[in-house]
Amino acid sequence: MNYILTSTACLTAFYLCYYLFLRGDKLMTLQRTFLLTALAISLAIPMVDLEWNNTTSPLEATYFPMENLPVTEASMQKSQNYALWDYVQYIYFLGVALMFVRLVLNFRKLFLILKTSTLEKYEHYTLVYVNQAMPISSFLRYIFISTRENFEQEELEGILLHESKHLTDLHSLDVLLMEAAKIIYWFNPMVYMMDRSLKTIHEYICDAEAVKHCEQSSYEKLLISSLFKRSDLPLLSQFSEVSVKKRIYMLNQKTPSIMKKVKYLLIIPITAALILACDPNELKEIETTSSETGENYNTSGHVTDMITVAGKVVGTDGRALPGVNIIIEGAEIGTVADVNGNYSLQVPAGSSLTASFIGMNSETIAVGNKSVIDFELSDDPNFKGTPFDELKALSVNQKVVTEHGSKYLTGKVTSETDQPVSGANIIVTGQKEGATTNQYGEFRLKLDDNNTSGKVVVIREGFKLQTLAFK
């Protein structure tokens, strides 16, 4: 979805540039080239990954996932947000499916027209005499003319000149490309505006070609006579596609000077700016949210000295403590210890790390230039939690499912009495992101691409820690 959103933003930027600065002059071939190039670049930019050879390194922080904290209203809200985002994706793919079906139905309708019409083949095109009311139009090498129309020889010559230009310039390929774009970006109004603009440009190009070989006044009368004849087939290049007033106005426009062509070079700085803006390696502002207070913390800028710190978190008895929160002091950015109590985090030199866990005393250690920092947490005597021998057992049903090429760990957590357990923290080995069970005890967690098998840890206050294998 990130690719779709990024390319949508790029496409919108390019079309706004065209709409504000380029449309309206008579450089139609350049306008067509600009729009098609803009579409291609918009599809490519999200895949560009720049690597800068700078002496400074961007601040690379691991997000501290709120799902791994004890349940709070904020963490439950984030779990609900994940589900909402899933629904958004479902709606998007439903729209894609409907638009694809629409395209298939349009092809079927066109095929039926060809099947029930009389075809007359020539060297460069095939005339299709349609036995129903239909505007003059073309698609690929076919030119459609209704048998209900009676044209003078001069009018027919003008029509064939116009429609032949559609065929030789491969305008149908532009139409098919835009139909594909409308399937992918069905929610973006700019795509429909770009499609309309391209079809308008096609008509202007063909009009200019036709008047080179016939009287302009006669051709303008032909345009007026076709004023209200339209088809509902978007695959066709229709003779009456564009406002007659605009077409006649454009026929009488003078060709712009060479200097006006320079403005089409706007595509170069716009492309460069979009590549920089969409580069995944470009430093972005990092915003994390504390689930305890709901307060926002922002950290941005470049840090010249970054250190990768790794270590292990244990209790006073030496046992590993999974699920411990390791936070960069003052930044509220960090990670979570895995099932073996191990962690790894990139931090600024000179900062401090704090390890905290429910029912235990927190510990803060200055990083300095150390690359290994181990924590030993002691029990908090003031913690009024459930004694270990009174902890209840958890029951976890989980499985891995594949959706749209991505793997998800899904399941449900229940108590000994088969009641759903909400707010249980779900941690997967080798993965930073976790999840929290909802009010029905259900959870859903997207797995990293390289994390196809491993262990899942389930933590909930008042219950015994559960470790299970998944695959």
pLDDT in the model for residue 227 = 57
Q: Are residues 113 and 244 in the same domain?
A: yes
Q: Are residues 356 and 440 in the same domain?
A: no
The structure tokens 């029912």 sit at: 359
Q: Are residues 232 and 331 in the same domain?
A: no
If one counts the domains in the chain, the total is 3
pLDDT in the model for residue 247 = 76
* DSSP of 79-132: HHHHHHHHHHHHHHHHHHHHHHHHHHHHHHHHHHHHHTSEEEE-SS-EEEEESS
| pLDDT level of residue 229 (50, 70, 90 thresholds) | low
pLDDT tens figures, 182-197: 999 999 999 999 999 9
Q: Are residues 170 and 272 in the same domain?
A: yes
pLDDT in the model for residue 387 = 56
Our CA dihedral for 209, 182, 98, 237, rounded to 10 degrees, sits at 0
Local structure of 469: helix, strand or coil: strand
| pLDDT level of residue 67 (50, 70, 90 thresholds) | very low
Lowest-confidence pick of 148-152, 367-371, 428-432, 434-438? 428-432
Q: Which two tokens stand for residue 454?
A: 């491993």
pLDDT tens figures, 293-346: 333 334 444 444 778 889 999 998 888 887 787 888 876 566 777 778 888 888
Q: 35 Cβ partners below 8 Å, 6+ apart?
A: 14, 15, 18, 194, 197, 198, 201
Domain limit, last residue, from 354, 377, 400: 377
1 or 45, greater pLDDT: 45
Average pLDDT over residues 221-238: 70
Q: Are residues 259 and 136 in the same domain?
A: yes
Tell me the pTM. 0.54
Q: Are residues 33 and 120 in the same domain?
A: yes
The verdict on residue 194 lying in a domain is yes
Q: Which two tokens stand for residue 179?
A: 């139909």
Burial (CB count within 10 angstroms: exposed 0-12, middle 13-18, buried 19+), residue 235: middle
pLDDT in the model for residue 133 = 82
Q: Are residues 326 and 397 in the same domain?
A: no
Q: Are residues 420 and 366 in the same domain?
A: no
Average pLDDT over residues 58-78: 40
Write the CATH number for 371.
2.60.40.1120
Domain boundaries, position 309: 305-377
Lowest-confidence pick of 25-34, 59-68, 223-232, 304-313? 59-68
- Amino acid at residue number 23: R
Percent of the chain with pLDDT strictly greater than 90: 21
Query: How far is the C-alpha of 277 from the C-alpha of 284, rounded, in Å?
Result: 10
Q: Are residues 360 and 224 in the same domain?
A: no
- Whether 177 has a pLDDT exceeding 80, the answer reads yes
